[in-house]
């Protein structure tokens, strides 16, 4: 595993936990019970992960097509 893969994994995990904790704290402070606040935090973190993954997938197709065009022109 390369350093960039390890760094990306660490950043992704930190982002996931940060979103989950922040949303859970906001839910708990607004009067939700503890379990419902945690569930809302996990749900929000998973949704963030889905959107980031979808954006990365679309970006990979766009960059892959661009690199393919550059190599055929040369």
Question: Do residues 26 and 43 lie in contact, with contact meaning Cβ atoms separated by under 8 Å?
Answer: no
In tens digits, the chain (74 residues) has pLDDT values of 789 999 999 999 999 999 999 999 999 999 999 999 999 999 999 999 999 999 999 999 888 776 666 666 65
User: pLDDT value at position 73?
Assistant: 60
The Cα 22–Cα 37 span in angstroms is 10
The Cα 24–Cα 36 span in angstroms is 8
The dihedral sign for the CA sequence 35, 41, 43, 45:
negative
- Give the chain's radius of gyration (CA, Å): 18
């Amino acid at each position: 595993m390369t350093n960039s893969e390890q760094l990306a994994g660490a950043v992704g995990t930190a982002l996931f936990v940060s979103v989950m904790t922040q949303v859970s704290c906001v839910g708990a402070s607004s009067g939700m019970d503890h379990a419902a606040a945690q569930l809302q935090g996990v749900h929000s973190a998973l949704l963030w992960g889905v959107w980031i993954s979808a954006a990365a997938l679309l970006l990979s197709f766009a960059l892959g097509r661009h690199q393919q065009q550059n190599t055929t022109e040369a």
